[in-house]
Amino acid sequence: MTATTERSLPSVAAVCRTRAGVELREFFRQRESVVFTLFFPVILLLVFGAVLDYDLGSGVSFTQYFMAGVIAAGILGASLQNMAIGIATERSDGTLKGLAGTPMPKSAYFVGKVVQVFVVTVAIVVILLAIGAVFYDIDLPSGTGWLTFAWVAALGSAACTLLGIAISSLARNGRSASATVTPVALVLQFISGVFFQFSEVPTWLQTVAAVFPLKWMAQGLRSVFLPDALAAQEPAGSWELGRVALVLAAWCVIGLLLCVRTFRWQDRVDR
């Protein structure tokens, strides 16, 4: 005999708002995550901007090129790394199990995570663009450039968020997730045209990089920050925006399928 009816439960929207508030406070109050996710790309931009300020030809500085890459790397950190490490930690310390025992709608948990990724991503992008514009005289996107910027960032962020959630299920705890994901992310940054021009990466490594979303995010964002003349330096001789959309969308689908198949609310039952 249950006295409570479905009607009197708080609405899913209300619980989503609560979760979003929880997730934002959890992120911004944790010094490690703020430094690691938010300030690391900023430091990279400041250092690379100061050291590698050479001319790529057509009067374009490497900093202008690096802007696209560091934003892509920032999005990767805010979504894939943040989700993989954060959720693995919450799973191993019992936070997820505790939530699964409450009437919180499961969807609200993921909505909270998405809001966290969105706010952190916007914060990173705004900070990076502001520093670029103020200190390094970066040409900001204009007109339809913003539109391309928005869809590349949104699609890339969605794919990496889903992948991060999926990867979290592979790790034993937050620390092991960090130990696995951080080096992989770093290697991907080196071979995906973040720190160096992608055209300088050996062809076989370009092929490896082309499997993963970071390369395509960086390439899509370069189309926004660089003049079309530089598209000739890309592997295909063009920005390939159609393929960028296709690969990132494919990773969204793969990530979603992996999440649905692998997500667990508690550590593996081993007793």
In the complex, the residues that contact other proteins under the rule CB under 8 A are 1-2, 4-6, 8-10, 14-15, 18-19, 21-22, 25-26, 29-30, 89-90, 93-98, 100-105, 266, 269, 271
In whole angstroms, how close is the CB of 37 to other proteins at the nearest point?
Answer: 14
**Cβ proximity to other proteins, 112 vs 220, nearer residue:** 112
**Can you point out the beta strands (E) in the chain?**
none
**Cβ proximity to other proteins, 24 vs 187, nearer residue:** 24
Give the separation between CA 190 and CA 196, rounded to whole angstroms: 7
In three-state secondary structure terms, 237 is coil
**Cβ proximity to other proteins, 100 vs 126, nearer residue:** 100
In the structure encoding, which two tokens stand for residue 60, read together? Answer: 């374009």
* Cα–Cα–Cα angle for 49, 164, 77, rounded to 5 degrees: 15
Give the separation between CA 117 and CA 123, rounded to whole angstroms: 10
In three-state secondary structure terms, 61 is strand
DSSP 266: S
Name beta bridge partners: 41: none
In whole angstroms, how close is the CB of 1 to other proteins at the nearest point?
Answer: 6
Name beta bridge partners: 61: 55
In whole angstroms, how close is the CB of 142 to other proteins at the nearest point?
Answer: 39
**Cβ proximity to other proteins, 4 vs 142, nearer residue:** 4
DSSP 18-42: HHHHHHHHHHHT-HHHIIIIIIHHH
Q: Count of residues for the chain?
A: 271
CA-closest candidate to residue 25, choices 16, 34, 14, 15: 34
Q: What is the largest CA-CA distance in the chain?
A: 76
**Cβ proximity to other proteins, 19 vs 215, nearer residue:** 19
**Cβ proximity to other proteins, 1 vs 134, nearer residue:** 1
Give the separation between CA 139 and CA 107, rounded to whole angstroms: 40
In whole angstroms, how close is the CB of 43 to other proteins at the nearest point?
Answer: 23
In whole angstroms, how close is the CB of 77 to other proteins at the nearest point?
Answer: 19
End-to-end CA distance of the chain: 33
**Cβ proximity to other proteins, 29 vs 261, nearer residue:** 29
